[in-house]
Amino acid sequence: MLEYSNKLSEIIDHCISNAKKKGATDVEVGIVKSTAETVSFRNKKLDESDRSENIGLSLTAYINKKKNSVLSSNLKTDNLEKLIERCVEAAKITPEDEFNSLPDEELFFKNSDELDLFDETHLENNQKIDFLKEAEEVAFKNKEIVNTNGSSFSESKTEVVLGNSKGFKNGYKTSNFTAYCEVVSKNNGSMERDYEYTSKRHFEDLLKPSELGSNAAKFAIRKLKPQKINSGKFDIIFDKRISKSFLNYFSSAITGSSIYRGTSFLKEKLNKKIFSDNINIVDRADIKRGNGSRYFDNEGVKIQNLSLVNKGVLNNYLIDTYYGKKLNITSNGRSGGTTNLYFENGKKDLKDLMNSNKKIFYVTETIGHGTNIVTGDYSLGAGGMMIENGELVYPISEVTIAGNLNEMFIKMVLANDLQFNYSTNSPSVLIENMTVAGK
């Protein structure tokens, strides 16, 4: 049994009951309550300290196939009464939509193994400051590091409670600890910046401050004195921090809304091969301590673990109740999007990929938003390192890489260096023969 606040539970019951009395045929109420504390550092000095507390209530009233939603951060009884009245009255004059409804009862979340998403650990401000101070001091041990572009440590605690008139009510708590360090390197007039980032449900799972600082320094220093390269066709290896973006494009293209509207380069690709045989993509909500793990989606539906791509074949879309009904597909619990989305590990070491050609462009940074989900066209500014004979030899900047995601997906080769650092994770990725526009 998951734990949640009795007070928030009572507010949900009150809203459902009163909305029904005012004429709603169905009601859904969600409450999210959160606290966050952030300390920011710059150049080994405290820059800012901030604490915030937020609470938000969403109320949705259905009158048969009519639907209206309202939001409020004021949970006082007199405001709730006005909110309920306004929501139901607006629903009465809203046009009908035959696909409006709560989820079917058999889809609701009922029980689950404990996912260990909440860490009671609380760090006082001086502890957060000490964490960042150590990270920056380690970075500054490198003589090429001359400044920091900002470091921060955040601690947040969130409680989610959801209920509806079909009898579903449940909630859970989560925590998140995040640390970030960005430094500036300089050598003979060349200045560059780079960062390291870590985010976990439990404080003990974070990168140590010494790792945070040393990694940020290493990444910034290796970018010094970048060169420009001639335009041409290159094999490209995308660093793990960058390659996970391909999963973001992929997931956007397989949402129910994109598929139904036809605004996706992956429309009509269900049960067809879109990657090579060696590629599998999974979305799992039940990873213990996972950054994207959840017990149920935004509608209370149990989140199915999905094999989205198996041996290169697209098996599933991301479906909520509304677009599921439009597409005649049962919701798989994706109201609110993906959970822990990842490529399964490939079969080759990163070193093997680096040795696969005499010259390879290793991308560690992309710039801009030049990806079209409708057509799959891909074009971004990029920077990184040149690999020659398996070794990183010099940094590269001010180039543009381009292709089409349909072709890029088929040509992808995955390394076996997957790590779960985010809610979306990927190993390093090699794509052969991409267009690079340089000088």
pLDDT for res 42: 86
Q: Are strands 429-437 and 413-414 parallel, antiparallel or unpaired?
A: antiparallel
pLDDT for res 1: 53
Question: CA separation (Å) from 97 to 29, 64, 67, 91, 322?
Answer: 20, 9, 8, 12, 10
Domains 6-34+52-107 and 125-221 share a fold: yes
pLDDT for res 3: 76
Q: Hey, what CATH class is 125-221 in? A: alpha beta
Instruction: Enumerate the domain spans of the chain.
Output: 6-34+52-107, 125-221, 226-439
Structure tokens at 307: 């094999």
User: How is 163-231 classified by DSSP, letter by letter?
Assistant: EETTS-EEEEEEEEEEEEEEEEEEETTEEEEEEEEEEESSGGGSPPHHHHHHHHHHHHHTTSS-B----
Q: Are strands 424-425 and 377-388 parallel, antiparallel or unpaired?
A: unpaired
- The one-letter amino acid code at 254 reads I
Report how far residue 175's alpha carbon sits from residue 178's, in angstroms, rounded to the nearest whole number.
10
Going edge to edge, which strands form the sheet with 26-42?
66-72, 45-63, 26-42, 145-164, 169-187, 190-200
Would you identify the CATH topology of the domain 6-34+52-107? PmbA/TldD fold (3.30.2290)
pLDDT for res 439: 78
Structure tokens at 92: 């009465």
Tens digit of pLDDT at every position of the chain (439 positions): 577 889 999 999 999 999 999 999 999 999 999 999 999 988 888 889 999 999 999 999 999 999 999 999 999 999 999 999 999 999 999 999 999 999 999 999 998 889 999 999 999 999 999 999 999 999 999 999 999 888 999 999 999 999 999 999 999 999 999 999 999 999 988 899 999 999 999 999 999 999 999 999 999 999 999 999 999 999 999 999 999 999 999 999 999 999 999 999 999 999 999 999 999 999 999 999 999 999 999 999 999 999 999 999 999 999 999 999 999 999 999 999 999 999 999 999 999 999 999 999 999 999 988 899 999 999 999 999 999 999 999 999 999 999 999 999 999 999 999 999 999 999 999 999 999 998 7
3-state secondary structure of 340: strand
**Residue 116 Rama label (left phi>0; alpha psi -120 to 50; beta):** left
